[in-house]
Amino acid sequence: MNNKNNSPQLPEELRSFSPVTVIGAGVIGISWTALFLAKGLEVRVNDVRPDLEEVVYKGLEQMIPTLKELGLPTEGLKDRLIIEKNIERALDGAAVVQENGPERIAFKQELYAQIEQFVSKDTLLLSSSSSLKASDIAEKMDTPERMLIGHPFNPPHLVPLVEIVPGKNTASGAVDRAVAFYKALGKNPLILKKEIAGFVANRLQAALFREAIHLVMEEVVSVKDLDEIVTSSIGLRWAAGGPFLTFQLGGGQGGFPAFLKHLGPVLEGLWDQLGEPRFDDATVQTLSDLSASSYGEIPQMELKENRDSRQLSVLHALKEKSK
C-alpha cells in the first residue's frame, strides 16, 4: 500500500499517528475521516458496504464548508485518502485505528480479535462506541492493553469533546497516547475515572431527553417549543458554564452550599415528579408524528447546515472569550 505520510500539512505532533485507519463509514466514521484528512493525516477507510466510495466522497463534500469555517485546509483533502474494503490491507502499517462499527458487543469483540492480527504491537486502538465498555469489547483480544474508548460527540469534526475511557487492561501509556492524539487534532479529550455504560455525555443527554419526551407526551409543550426552550435557556447557559458552575454562581456569595440550601429541596422535589416514558409503539408513533409536523417539511440537509452553523457560532464565541 502506498504511503502518503509526507504531507506538508502534517504537524510534528501528529507525525507518529499517521496513517490512521477508520473502520466503519457511517456518519461518525466519515466525520472523523474529514477531520483527520484536514489535519494532514493519511487515512484509510474500511467498510464492507458496496457503495463505500460514493458514500465517503459525498460525505466529505458535505463537510467541507464546516471544515473551512473551522479554519482547516480543504484543498487536496482526498489526496491522502485510501478507500479499502479489505480489512487486512486497510490496517497495514496503521499507527491508529478509530473504529465506528455497530453497537453490538459480539460484533466488536470479533472485530478487535481480528484487528490485532493485522496491526503492530504499538498501534493505538480506539473505539467510538457510545455505550459499550472497553473491557467488554477487548474480552477476546490477546493484547487488550492498547485498546480503549475514544468516544466523540456527534459530529466529531465539529464538536470538541472526546470521552476517553480505558478498560481494566488498558495500559496507562495507551491512555497518554490517546490524549496526545486527540489534543493534536484540536479536540478536548477528557479521561473518565470509571467505566460506566453510556459514559457521561450520553447519560446526561439521556436524562434530559427522557424528561423532554415526558413533557411532550403529556402535551405540556410542543416538540419545536421544547427545543426552543433548551436552546434559549439551559443549552445556552451550560455552553458557557455547565451545571455545577451554573449552580455555584446561582448561590451568590455563598456559592454552591448556599444554592443547595435554598433551592436544593425544590430540585429534589422535582426529581420525584420526573416522567418515566418508554419507547412503546404508541409513544414512538406519536413522537414521530410530532417531530414530522415540526421539522418534516424542511430538507434534512438544511436542518443539518443550520445546526452546524449555530454550533460554529457558539464555538467561535467561546474560543474568542478564552483568549
Write down the pLDDT at residue 9: 65
Instruction: Kindly report, residue by residue over 54-67, the tens digit of the pLDDT.
Output: 999 999 999 999 99
Say whether pLDDT at 322 is over 80.
no
Write down the pLDDT at residue 7: 58
Write down the pLDDT at residue 147: 98
**SS3 label, residue 278:** coil
Write down the pLDDT at residue 17: 97
Mean pLDDT value across residues 35-63: 96
Write down the pLDDT at residue 3: 47
Place 10 in a pLDDT band, splitting at 50, 70 and 90.
confident
Whole-Å CA distances, 43 to 2, 18, 51, 134, 303: 11, 8, 18, 23, 29
Write down the pLDDT at residue 246: 94
Mean pLDDT value across residues 196-206: 96
Say whether pLDDT at 2 is over 80.
no
Domains contained in the chain, CATH given: 12-191 (3.40.50.720), 201-321 (1.10.1040.10)
> Which one-letter amino acid corresponds to residue 296?
G
Most confident of 8-12, 140-144, 236-240: 140-144
| pLDDT over 90, % of the chain | 90
Residue-averaged pLDDT of the chain = 94
Does residue 49 contact residue 11 with C-beta atoms inside 8 Å?
Answer: no
Say whether pLDDT at 11 is over 90.
no
Q: What is the CA radius of gyration of the chain?
A: 21
Helix axes 223-232, 281-295, angle to 10 degrees: 70
pTM above 0.85, yes or no: yes
Instruction: Kindly report, residue by residue over 93-145, the tens digit of the pLDDT.
Output: 999 999 999 999 999 999 999 999 999 999 999 999 999 999 999 999 999 99
Place 185 in a pLDDT band, splitting at 50, 70 and 90.
very high
Which cell numbers in the block locate residue 259? 444554592
Write down the pLDDT at residue 320: 73
Write down the pLDDT at residue 323: 65
Alpha helices in the chain (DSSP H): 27-38, 52-69, 87-91, 105-118, 134-137, 172-184, 201-217, 223-232, 234-240, 242-250, 255-271, 281-295, 300-321
Please spell the DSSP secondary structure of 241-259, one letter per residue.
Answer: SHHHHHHHHHTGGGHHHHH
Instruction: Kindly report, residue by residue over 260-316, the tens digit of the pLDDT.
Output: 999 999 999 999 999 999 999 999 999 999 999 999 999 998 998 899 899 998 888
Write down the pLDDT at residue 6: 46
